[in-house]
Amino acid sequence: MTNKTHRDPFGDDIVVEPREIEDPVVGLNKPALDSLIAGFRRFANSLTPRVRSACSATLVLSPEPGYGKSYLIGRLFQQLDDDATLLYVRPFQDPSSSWISILEKVVHELDRPDSIHKPARDPGELTQLDALARRLLFEVARDLILNGKLAHPDRSASSSMFEKFPNASLETSEWRTWLQRENESVVAAIDQALKHQHIELKPTRRAWLKVLIAYAYSEEDITRRQLCLDWIKYCPLEVDEGKVLGLKLSELPETELPYEQRNERAFERLCSLFAIGAFYRPFLLCFDQTELYGTSPELARSFGVVLSRLRREASNHFVVVTANTGVWESKVRPNFEKADQDAIAPEPIELRGMTKVQAQQLVGNRFAAWEIDDQVAAFCTSWLPGVFASRDQCSVREVLRAARRAWGSLAEPTVAEIFASYRRRHLASSTGLTFDAGVIEWAVVNMFGPSLDASVEHIRSPKGYLTVRCKIGDREELFGFEAKDHWKRWDAIVREAERYHQDAKAPAVTRSCFFRAHNQNRLPDRVLELVKARTSAVHIVELNADELASVFAAHDFIADVSQSNHYLAESEVRTFLRRELHAIAMRVWSDTSRPEPGAEVSVSLAELVERTVQSKRFVTLTLLLQALPKGTVESDALRAAGAIPKIRVHASPSNTVLQWLQ
Amino acid sequence: MPNSNGRRSPGPDAKAVAEKLLERLSASPEKWFDERALFDLEGNSKPGPVLKKALKQLLSDERVIHGGSISRRKVYRYSDGRDPSVMLRELYAEAIRGLAPGFSLRPGSENGLQAKLPKLPTRVLAWHATVLKDLAASGEILRLKHGSSPLFLFRRDIEAELARVRPSVPSSGPVATIASHSPVLSVPDRVRHAYGELRAERGLRNVSISSLLDRTGLSRDELHAFLLDECSAHRANPTLGEPTAATVHENDVALIIDGRPHLYVELLSMEGKHD
């Protein structure tokens, strides 16, 4: 079961998630890492609070793909674990919603464990936003109580508590009761303290404090926490929901707002978040996979604007941008506006390849992780000298690929096998099937439309809810990508869709389409009734787990191809993916059949998966399926495995192996 | 148990000590440690056999380099895997480059130049003549005579002076380009000179082969022959770059190694293998 043929220790050659990187190779890109850390420390040690400080983005360049850009970010995260709020930001797809997309990703990152060493959040584990809220409260409330500006029954006891347990001083039930009882006066006092520091937050300091306190002290109340996250993301809330958080009507996000203004509000939220975090620690904002901005001059220009505005208008953040030199110099940087050029620091950090000694260490690390007892030196003898025959250093990916060939003389994987491995990764990840409006919009424009031979164009409807138009002959389908479920916004969406339908030259063949994921909240009944009454104008397509996995996998696959992470022609992969996604495109276009519902994975299946993997330690997906009840499908098994923190799924194109982590 | 070099590995104690030593050295990779600081020799004048064994193993694995001595004390430093001689040579070059601006505009002896450098161990100082030759070949310094005293002129200082006097003269001005094209220079010197200019202009070690070709004025075959020799001798590192982002010209003049086109190259003999 665990013999050599089942394991592919060199199959993973792309870092998908910087929070889950493997053991480091001594010395590899250490100067680059040291330089980033030194830059961050210089920034972090500047005036506290860092409400008015910002600096140019640090650029990390790789002379070819596979030198470890994402890995370097992972190392940086490990090194700065307690010293920064860590934000990993993948590219936005639409220039006009750049800030909405960035804010969405930032909030997703804030809701991740505060400790980098915890890939998934266990119950009771603090998130980054928890840490930020608690430390802000602690820093400000401590001073206020000790100075007598905030009343507390036992000032001397609190003083000693603050001294001894800075991280846990507001955690005891007495303190929680006090915070709850004195909520209004605590918020008012902190508000004054922030005002004294000239910290202006939008919409108000009070609203931010209310939301942060509500989030920090409602660990068990998932709905309340989600409301807080939605408010930070500028998603509309019901009035009653606002009341739960103690917010006034004027402090709630506006439900009907033109797109440009929503984008601007998202930027304001980001600035406020960074500013309020200045009392605790800086934000480390890492923009990775920037090759994707090279796909259009408009996207690249927009990325320049993002960096420039962050530098000029936001505070308390340190930005790292990674890029491959070729694309950066030919397709991204040249499209920046002249005024945005100085958003990047003039001295880039250039990555190095690995030396022969380091390559051997990497092989040793992989053997250790996969519990392989072979002699590293003996294994390397046959192929490693060849890799370094004409060079002194080599990309990590080249080394891994050569090692993989030597390990099993495996043939290069086919496009279909690579695509399947991406799908499996999404299915097996606890967050891999989270609705992402940007990716679904990408799929409509780049996959669904072309696979149906439709003409596709970006549009901007007056309210901004419809952003893509597909046309085949007279038939016209408009698309919108709304992630949330607020009835008032959906009411506005349906009204806009209906207006388009009525104003169309051929109303009978013009309608609007929206997407929902099987794992999202059900839309409110009144919205569903509204849609049901207007089926000729609007329809909602629900994507099940398999379909979502395919869409997200296609996006990631193309992203990696465009970053030259695979030796494949982009056109060939696009053609393949359009074929793969054709069935979904047809369903969206015709809406003739509903998908199989995305059934919840049963508890018994999850237990069986857990038991099987635990007993085998390493097991291939094929063997796991044989051990499960007849008829269990691959996607259910992978989703079950993805929900178990002790199981790591290695989905490489040649093989999928499930590992029980000790 | 023999290791990759066929040598015997140290016992478990020495292994643990070696890890500790490595941890300490890698925490300050830019620092030279003498034995006293490295081994925490409290009261003992010499390290014990386990410490010695651990250090010996690290040196033989090239995880640590021996720099000779400073003030008669042996010193060691963390190595990130490059060849020790290249590292020592590069450290000396970096020290020279680190001299304060304007230094080169004053005449002085070679010993005088060394006196201006930070304290360096003997095995780094031994590269003095070679590094000066390297830097002169790359065009980073000019070695002249002022009366009977040597005069070192740094290219960067000449450029700074030119910029001061005539602000419109670009930093990569015609002086450098003429030197790169000069038929008097040999092919290696022309390539190194052009490489030095391009590296300085772009701030990147990896320079595109097409820009080297344009800057040197050499034929493609001449440049390729030189670069292939340098790569085989491990004095240059080729990198693939991204053919999809490159122009037709850049792809046309790529250096083919093992059947694959390489768009960039880093010259190592004068720049060392790693920073």
Tens-place pLDDT, residues A171-184: 777 778 877 888 88
Q: Which pLDDT score, from 0 to 100, does residue A586 have?
A: 92
Lowest-confidence region among A180-184, A473-477, B129-133: B129-133
Of the candidates A102, A80, A60, A65, the one whose C-alpha atom is nearest the C-alpha of residue A19 is A80
- What is the C-alpha separation between A448 and A164, in angstroms, rounded? 59
Q: Give me chain B's average pLDDT, please.
A: 77
Predicted confidence (pLDDT) at residue A21 exceeds the cutoff of 90: no
A24 interface with B at CB cutoff 8 Å: no
Instruction: Please state the φ and ψ torsions of residue B25, each to the nearest 5 degrees.
Output: -65, -40
* Structure token digits, residue A13: 């050659």
Minimum distance, in Å, between the CA of residue A61 and any CA atom of chain B: 9
Tens-place pLDDT, residues A183-206: 888 888 888 888 888 888 999 999
As a whole number of angstroms, the longest Cα–Cα distance in chain B is: 68
Cα distances (Å, whole numbers) of residue B12 to A31, A361, A531, B16, B143:
30, 19, 72, 6, 53
Per DSSP, what are the bridge partners of residue B264? B208, B239
The mean pLDDT value for A127-153 works out to 82
Q: Which pLDDT score, from 0 to 100, does residue A383 have?
A: 94
Binary contact (A27, B234; C-beta < 8 A): no
What is the DSSP annotation of A142-184? HHHHHTTSS--S-HHHHHHHHHH-TTTTT-SHHHHHHHHHTHH
Binary contact (B4, A360; C-beta < 8 A): yes
B12 interface with A at CB cutoff 8 Å: no
Predicted confidence (pLDDT) at residue A78 exceeds the cutoff of 70: yes
**Strand ranges, E, within A246-390:** 283-287, 317-324, 349-350
Lowest-confidence region among A372-381, A445-454, B147-156: B147-156
Asked whether the bond before A203 is cis by omega within 30 degrees of 0, the reply is yes
Q: Is pLDDT larger for residue A352 or for residue B142?
A: A352
- Map out the domains of chain A with their CATH numbers: 4-11+353-410 (no CATH), 29-120+281-350 (3.40.50.300), 128-261 (no CATH), 437-590 (3.40.1350.10), 600-660 (1.10.10.10)
Tens-place pLDDT, residues B229-269: 999 999 999 999 988 889 999 999 999 999 999 999 999 85
Q: Which pLDDT score, from 0 to 100, does residue B257 have?
A: 94
On whether the CB atoms of residues A600 and A548 are closer than 8 A, the answer is: no
Question: Which residues, 6 or more positions from B210, have their beta carbon under 8 angstroms from its beta carbon?
Answer: B247, B249, B250, B253, B263
Q: Give me chain A's average pLDDT, please.
A: 87
Complex-level ipTM: 0.78
- Map out the domains of chain B with their CATH numbers: 12-78 (1.10.10.10), 84-154 (1.10.10.10), 172-267 (1.10.10)
Tens-place pLDDT, residues A408-463: 856 678 899 999 999 999 998 877 788 888 899 999 999 999 999 999 998 888 87
CB atoms within 10 A of CB A332: 25
Q: Is pLDDT larger for residue A317 or for residue A149?
A: A317
On whether the CB atoms of residues B267 and A345 are closer than 8 A, the answer is: no
Q: Which pLDDT score, from 0 to 100, does residue A473 have?
A: 87
Minimum distance, in Å, between the CA of residue B196 and any CA atom of chain A: 16
Tens-place pLDDT, residues A534-564: 888 999 999 999 999 999 999 999 988 988 8
- What is the C-alpha separation between A105 and A86, in angstroms, rounded? 12
Q: Which residue has the tokens 């007849």?
A: A630
Q: Which pLDDT score, from 0 to 100, does residue B275 have?
A: 38
Q: Which pLDDT score, from 0 to 100, does residue B34 have?
A: 86
pLDDT band at residue A594 using 50, 70 and 90 as cut-offs = low
Asked whether the bond before A49 is cis by omega within 30 degrees of 0, the reply is yes
Using a pLDDT cut of 70, give the percent of chain A over it. 94
Tens-place pLDDT, residues A241-255: 899 999 999 999 988
Question: Which residues, 6 or more positions from B112, have their beta carbon under 8 angstroms from its beta carbon?
Answer: none
Q: Which pLDDT score, from 0 to 100, does residue B254 have?
A: 96
pLDDT band at residue A653 using 50, 70 and 90 as cut-offs = confident
Q: Is pLDDT larger for residue B222 or for residue B134?
A: B222
Predicted confidence (pLDDT) at residue B89 exceeds the cutoff of 50: yes
Task: Name the residue of chain B whose CA is nearest to A294's CA.
Answer: B245
Binary contact (A352, B274; C-beta < 8 A): yes
- What is the C-alpha separation between B122 and A102, in angstroms, rounded? 53
Minimum distance, in Å, between the CA of residue A386 and any CA atom of chain B: 10
Predicted confidence (pLDDT) at residue A167 exceeds the cutoff of 70: no
Predicted confidence (pLDDT) at residue B1 exceeds the cutoff of 70: no
Q: Is pLDDT larger for residue A229 or for residue B163?
A: A229
Per DSSP, what are the bridge partners of residue A470? A456, A477
- What is the C-alpha separation between A661 and A529, in angstroms, rounded? 48
Q: Is pLDDT larger for residue A566 or for residue A149?
A: A566
B23 interface with A at CB cutoff 8 Å: no
Predicted confidence (pLDDT) at residue A597 exceeds the cutoff of 60: no
Tens-place pLDDT, residues A325-375: 999 999 999 999 999 998 999 889 999 999 999 999 999 999 998 888 888
Using a pLDDT cut of 90, give the percent of chain A over it. 46
Q: Which pLDDT score, from 0 to 100, does residue A577 have?
A: 96
Q: Which pLDDT score, from 0 to 100, does residue B269 have?
A: 57
Q: Which pLDDT score, from 0 to 100, does residue A469 have?
A: 94
Task: Name the residue of chain B whose CA is nearest to A291's CA.
Answer: B245
Helix (H, G, I), strand (E, B) or coil at B76: strand
- What is the C-alpha separation between A451 and A23, in angstroms, rounded? 42
Tens-place pLDDT, residues A263-318: 999 999 999 999 988 888 899 999 999 999 998 999 999 999 999 999 999 989 99
- What is the C-alpha separation between A448 and A588, in angstroms, rounded? 9
- What is the C-alpha separation between A237 and A488, in angstroms, rounded? 9
Binary contact (A393, B237; C-beta < 8 A): yes
Question: Which residues, 6 or more positions from A346, have their beta carbon under 8 angstroms from its beta carbon?
Answer: A56, B203
A61 interface with B at CB cutoff 8 Å: yes
Q: Which pLDDT score, from 0 to 100, does residue A2 have?
A: 40
The mean pLDDT value for B138-150 works out to 71
pLDDT band at residue B5 using 50, 70 and 90 as cut-offs = very low
Q: Which pLDDT score, from 0 to 100, does residue A86 have?
A: 96
B24 interface with A at CB cutoff 8 Å: no
